[in-house]
Chain A
Amino acid sequence: MFAQGPARILAGGTDILVGIRNGTVQPQVLIDIKDIPELKRLELDKDELVIGAAVTVNELICHPVVREKFPILVDAGEVLGSYQVRNRATVAGNLCNASPAADMAPALLVLGATVNVFGGGSRRELPLAKLFTGVKKTSLQPGEILTEIRVPLKSGRGKYLRQGRTRGHDLAILGLAGFYGDGVLRLAVGACAATPVCVELSAAGENRDGVLAAAREKLQAAIHPIDDVRASAEYRRALVNVYLERVLAAIL
């Protein structure tokens, strides 16, 4: 959550400790934020779900309000890591680590989430899409910390599906989230570009096949998949179409 510098935030530690162990990150100081009560907030505040920076993925997906009103976040959280990882990994940490494959990102993007940032004595709020700037890069400035995520409560249906190499626990080759409400369809894809990608299209009054075709075109134009150790670009593009169809079948 702190940009490159001698001090880094320690939330769940499930990303940063791996980095420290393999030498990719070498902080002199770790700032443990887990005991700050404000950062453990997980509740509905009027029409917004507030997820504090220290809330773990398991805490999120076990919360009755989340399970009832934001089931897409449960879809996303329950495939992240393993049960052990989810007991430590935080939702905010998953976003700030900014892996292109971050499982929490597509679902939060289609829900129109915003994040609150504190630093240098002042606060700012930004749409989640503006947080990601590149592979493992965020727009957080030195000395800034993401304090909470806010998710507006909207009527509609959402779904997150992802493909790993195995049926077990693995990073996503592709993650696709869709949310359909008030005639608007929002789609987001992870692991197919340097950052998670989000598109929006109108679906009011359109027939399903028309929406599918338009969504497919818009999504394929927005992603830039690469060949990597987990999958080829070609396979990812093919999977996007398959998962798009499955997600739309669930939400339209």
Chain B
Amino acid sequence: MPRDIIVTVNGEKYHTVVAENKTLLRFLREDLNLTGTKEGCGAGECGACTVLLDGRPVNSCLVLAVEVDGHSVETIEGLAKEGVLHPLQEAFIKHQGVQCGFCTPGMIMSAKALLDRNPTPTEEEIKEAIGGNLCRCTGYVPIVAAIKEVAGGGKA
């Protein structure tokens, strides 16, 4: 049964209709064409679908679109402002924390949420924060380095 929802995504308010059993992940990708968020496992284990819901990282494959009615979602598409990359995006490129890129949107959203709540994390805290984001390519070292640089005030 379709339902009306009002959800703010990357600062833009959407008033739309969505099937009750559609996940937030599929809603973002199919209804809003925001395909940056990826489906890796669909079961909340890989983190490729990580978005921020009211500022908190969640696996969007485990959230129904109807549950975000009245809430605010941030995806990877919301990070760059008018073509200017976010410091995390710059750092990931610089440190080669991106290879195939599939884990990257979710990884960066987890990292952004970490720095929002803890601007000066230890290496251990970084690893714990991205523990729910699997990467098959990089071995994580360059990812941690990228986050560390931004945390160290590489850029604001």
Contact = CB atoms under 8 A, between A and B. Distances in A.
Interface of B: 21, 23, 42-45, 47, 50, 53, 56-59, 61-64, 67, 110, 128-129, 131-133
A34 B53 CA distance: 14
A58 B53 CA distance: 14
Given A87-B56, A168-B131, A169-B132, A82 B62 contact: no
Contacts of A81: 44, 132
B44 A14 contact: yes
25 contacts: A10-B64, A10-B67, A13-B64, A13-B67, A14-B44, A17-B23, A17-B63, A21-B42, A82-B44, A82-B131, A82-B132, A82-B133, A83-B110, A83-B128, A83-B129, A83-B131, A84-B47, A84-B58, A84-B132, A85-B132, A87-B56, A87-B58, A88-B58, A169-B131, A169-B132
A24 B56 CA distance: 29
A32 interface: yes
A32 B67 CA distance: 8
Interface in A21-44: 21-22, 30, 32, 34
Given A13-B63, A17-B23, A17-B62, A85 B128 contact: no
B62 A14 contact: yes
Contacts of A34: 67
A18 interface: yes
